[in-house]
Amino acid sequence: MLHFLPVGLLLYFFPDTLAVMLGIHPMWLARLSGAALMAWGIMLALAPRWPHTLLRWGMVLVNLLTLATLLPAALKGAEPHAALLVVCTLLGAAAVAGIMATDG
């Protein structure tokens, strides 16, 4: 059940040199799936202890990990990718809204 966490960590911190040798491209796709698996593993690990607040903090975690994954890809190159920047802005706003939400 908690095997999602190590697999997510492996994919998220996968070395670029090894990815080039294996032909994994684009790298942000592997990191995005690693972020989702890592967040899922953390949610599964914490679910028995805090079932009521877990969904909100899990979504905040997923949004922040996805934002951290997509932002370098959006800023890469001479001209930033506008569509990815919009997605990153929405993910950041959703994460902030989730952090500021109350449990009541």
What does DSSP assign to residue 79? Answer: S
At residue 50, the pLDDT reads 67
Alpha carbons 70 and 98: distance in angstroms, whole number? 19
Tell me if the bond preceding 26 is cis, omega within 30° of 0: yes
Nearest-angstrom CA–CA distance, 75 and 83: 11
Tell me the pLDDT tens digit for each residue of 6-34. Answer: 777 777 777 777 777 766 666 777 777 77
pTM of the model: 0.59
Give the model's confidence band at 97: pLDDT under 50 very low, under 70 low, under 90 confident, else very high.
Answer: confident
pLDDT at 6: 76
Total of domains in the chain: 1
Task: State which residues form the domain around 88.
Answer: 4-100
Determine the average pLDDT of the residues in 40-57: 71
